[in-house]
Structure 1
Amino acid sequence: MTIIQNNVVINRAVADVYSFLADLNNHEQLMPENIYNWTSTADEARFTIKNMAKLALRISLRTENKEIICVPSEEAPFEIKLAWRLEEQGAETRATFVIEAQLNMMMKMMASGPLQKLVDHQVQRLKETLG
């Protein structure tokens, strides 16, 4: 299992960050430019990653003010789980974005870099969006 993650501290209450992340409609604001054909509801999102794949994700678990887990709702190129984990730190919130992917050696070489860039981009955009 390949685990890719990054975190950021946001100057907002954990409930605010959780409520933003718990609705997949908001996740489009966190996506990089190479994501297009975005459609979403509060529980599901579909999009295309330029030159890579189409993905359909659904929220499989919401633990209030703690964690949101997304998994593919349709067949994906590899087994993957995306999780936002939140920790209250006084008036601030530490948000950690974790991607767990089952990658063979060839896929790991090809996908690790883009997945790390995605994680880094999303945590940075979350901080910019929520201040």
Structure 2
Amino acid sequence: MNIESKKTILNKPAKEVFDFLIDVKNFEKLMPENTSKFEILDSDRFVFALKGMPEIVLKLKEQYPHNKVVLGAASDKLPFTLTAHINEIEDNKCETNLVFEGDFNPMMGMMIKGPITNFIGTLTDNMSKI
């Protein structure tokens, strides 16, 4: 399953957006309003839950300075990654988008496609407010 958010222009340098995203505690600022739990586990992992959904632990997996940040599920039960792409347009302007990639059976894919699409849409919208 591959879900891609819309591209968003941010009036921030790519380095500033990258630095924001590699600090996992900042993801609390991006979470939807229906977040029922958000807790930092260590410097590169956090757990969150949306109302009515199970808890998910995300771990900072890869970082490519100023261009890409990859978070992934800490558990193998639901294997997926959430990648933030950051493209510098000008000194103080960049374009971002999120890509969710997961390996799910067709039934699970049907159940989570809508909520995941809404979730990454909210994260993208909230990035424009940072």
Supply the distance in 2 between the matched residues of 1:125 and 1:64 (Cα, whole angstroms). Answer: 21
- The corresponding residue for 1:66 is 67
- The corresponding residue for 1:81 is 81
Provide, for residues 13-40 of structure 1, a one-character-per-residue CA deviation record: whole Å limited to 9, x for no partner.
1011111111110001111122222111
Supply the distance in 2 between the matched residues of 1:74 and 1:106 (Cα, whole angstroms). Answer: 19
| Runs of at least 4 residues off by over 4 Å | none
1:4 aligns with 2:3: yes
In structure 2, the CA distance between the partners of 1:56 and 1:86, relative to structure 1 (3 Å rule), is same
**SS across alignment from 1:103:** coil
AA of the residue aligned to 1:106: M
**SS across alignment from 1:59:** strand
Supply the distance in 2 between the matched residues of 1:5 and 1:29 (Cα, whole angstroms). Answer: 20
1:17 aligns with 2:45: no
TM-score, normalised relative to structure 1: 0.90
Supply the distance in 1 between the matched residues of 2:31 and 2:111 (Cα, whole angstroms). Answer: 20
- Taking only aligned residues, the RMSD between alpha carbons, in angstroms, comes to 1.3
Supply the distance in 1 between the matched residues of 2:113 and 2:52 (Cα, whole angstroms). Answer: 15
Count residues in correspondence. 127
Q: How far apart are 1:49 and its partner, in Å?
A: 2.4
TM-score, normalised relative to structure 2: 0.91
- The corresponding residue for 1:50 is 51
Supply the distance in 1 between the matched residues of 2:121 and 2:43 (Cα, whole angstroms). Answer: 23
What is the aligned-residue identity percentage? Answer: 23
Supply the distance in 1 between the matched residues of 2:75 and 2:34 (Cα, whole angstroms). Answer: 21
User: What runs of 5+ residues in structure 1 fail to find an aligned partner?
Assistant: none
Provide, for residues 62-101 of structure 1, a one-character-per-residue CA deviation record: whole Å limited to 9, x for no partner.
111011111122344x211111111000131111111101
Supply the distance in 2 between the matched residues of 1:84 and 1:108 (Cα, whole angstroms). Answer: 21
